[in-house]
Amino acid sequence: MDFDLFVIGGGSAGVRCARIAAGHGARVAIAEDRFWGGTCVNIGCVPKKLLVQAGEYGAWADDAAGFGWSIRKGPHDWTALIAAKDREIGRLNATYRRLLDTAGATIFDARAKLDDPHTIDVGGTKVTAERIVIATGGHPTRIDIPGAELGIVSDDAFYLPHMPKRVAILGSGYIAVEFAGIFAALGAEVDLIYRQPLPLRGFDHDLREALAEALGSNGIALHPGCTPERIEPHGTNRRRLSLASGHAIETDLVFFATGRRPATTNLGLEHAGVTITPIGAVAVDEHLRTSQPHIFAIGDVTDRLNLTPVATAEGHALADSLFGNKPRRISLENVPTAVFSTPPVATVGLSEEQAAKKGPVDIYVTRFTPMRHTLTGRARKSLMKLIVDQPTGRVLGAHMLGEDAPEIMQGLGIAVAMGATKADFDRTIGIHPTAAEEFVTMRTRTRTAGA
């Protein structure tokens, strides 16, 4: 065999797996035909957060008057922002390649696909490997309506030549609410169209309600319970989005944030006997093994818990298990996550709805105006919530909407994963004045839920 391990896909999962395996002494090759660093680094979480921060600077300039500063804010320069973003992404691309090179991995800038269970076609060159890892991630999708080709997806949003004046976003998940906040903060009129009653399906109901209220207070026009019907050209470089209700929205840009699918087409999986699920994900067991015992899959291509830190952890664990004599598995329970909406949402553990199905729980909720906004006058509220198991007192879930929520939730993720109880939280002395101290000062139960 030419290699001990061949990794298809140079994103967060694939690069980590290849680098760690090479560090353990394995002969490793990795192929990527588009972006080193994958979706997250190039057209996902990293550039997305830079755009979120760009919007925050504008808000801070507006808010400064409440603290005695007089800041004259000019128009936002979208072209300058995208150029700065591209420079940083280019730096990260080079860093990923350097890490692989330093580790001793063989790098292929080419598309790879399986030719048979042990043979990989890499840009026309055939190589063999004892073990193979599929780490090709996912891709954004459009819903099937007439004129869908007139809209964009998240991949395109980071390369728009001009900042649109009005944007219609279809969807209500992470990408939809994050970009709604980005475009609104940078001066666009934003319409958010979604089929559910509230955004962020699957999140805690209180968080969803609070986020919808916050989005509305930011000037975003919400269209819950609406189904898009078609998109048509309208005038010069504009679009007309028709809804099933009969309402129509005239806009500069229609943005599909309607989900992602695993990137498994044209990989030759059928030639290697690798089984995929009905939605096209690579089916894996608890050890990340596919239907072929020597072929593995990690990250979003498995469509289990599609978060970059999960993908990275899976890649590391797999490399350790295969070549480091340190077999281990990644638990997908109590994984913290954040939505970089405006304001952000962060959560770990069970929602109230999930916990109540398992048994009786105590619910603690607090809402307040962050200290900064007592002077800015901005209508912004924070929400914090704990879900506590009645029989044991264990904290089953922690949820927050508000500034710094992602930073705060990372620490709470440790506590929830370790099985901390409400009594442990109560014994902890808070840091004052902070928002985070609210998590250790909630003494009065708001309500109970569950059987």
CA distances from 205 to 148, 197, 211, 309, 412 (A): 31, 11, 10, 25, 20
Active site residue 432: yes
Q: Is 218 exposed, middle or buried (0-12, 13-18, 19+ CB in 10 A)?
A: buried
Strand 228-233 and strand 221-223: the pairing is unpaired
Q: Report phi then psi at 52, rounded to 5.
A: -60, -45
The closest of 50, 34, 40 to 82, measured between CA atoms, is 50
User: Is the CB of residue 105 less than 8 Å from the CB of residue 18?
Assistant: yes
Looking at 139, 162, 294, 432, which residue is catalytic?
Answer: 432
Distance in angstroms (rounded) separating the CA atoms of residues 195 and 160: 27
The closest of 430, 417, 386, 24 to 206, measured between CA atoms, is 386
User: Is the CB of residue 79 less than 8 Å from the CB of residue 186?
Assistant: no
CA 201, 207, 209, 211 dihedral sign is: negative
Q: Give bridge partners of residue 382 from the DSSP assignment.
A: 368
Kindly report the length of the chain. Answer: 451
b/e map of 252-270 (b: 16 or more CB within 10 Å)? bbbbbbbebbbbbeebbbe
Distance in angstroms (rounded) separating the CA atoms of residues 372 and 345: 18
**Residues tagged active-site:** 432
